[in-house]
Amino acid sequence: MVISPILVFVVGLSAVILFNKSHGINSVLNAGGAANPFLWGPGLIFGLLVNRFALKSTACWVWLAGMVWIACGLLASLYTYQARFAGICSPLDSIWNGFFSYGSYGSSYCGDHQNLMRFTVPTFNSIAYSLGAWVALRFGPSGTSMP
């Protein structure tokens, strides 16, 4: 949950610097919002690679830690929501734009956009890691299906 978001940040920053903020790289980085494979792909790859050799069934349950993490973020966001400061944003708008909108999507004044990198990306990476671990367990080290 920690390494993958750092990798996403480093690769994204490197791409922006390397391609000099071109329109093409921005459209790739912003495509799909929080569901962009660029954001959760490293978790899937780590899950596949690490569990390919470790073969621990507990790695398939990492998604629970991610769900607890995002639940804490959602509860904290709802607790700190102030209607008088939010303007026309409802609590649902604030959560949607803060946790699940990326780049130019959503309203720029609704929600704390740092929550995407703080809560959503680690959660998606933990889910992807668990999926990758499950696939690695399913197909085992020899490439054959395990019972």
Ordered DSSP codes for 24-62: HHHHHHHTTGGG-HHHHHHHHHHHHHHHHHH--GGGGGH
What's the mean pLDDT in 38-51?
83
In angstroms, the CA 147 to CA 130 distance is: 18
Q: What percent of the chain has pLDDT over 90?
A: 12
What are the residue boundaries of the structural domains of the chain, listed by start? 3-139
Residue 121 pLDDT greater than 70, yes or no: yes
Q: Is pLDDT at 146 greater than 50 in this prediction?
A: no
Per-residue pLDDT tens for 56-101?
Answer: 788 889 899 999 999 999 998 888 877 666 567 788 888 888 888 7
- Is 124 exposed, middle or buried (CB count within 10 Å of its CB: 0-12, 13-18, 19+)? buried
pLDDT, residue 71, reads 94
Sign for the CA dihedral angle at 110, 115, 116, 117 comes to positive
Residue 102, both tokens:
């990326």
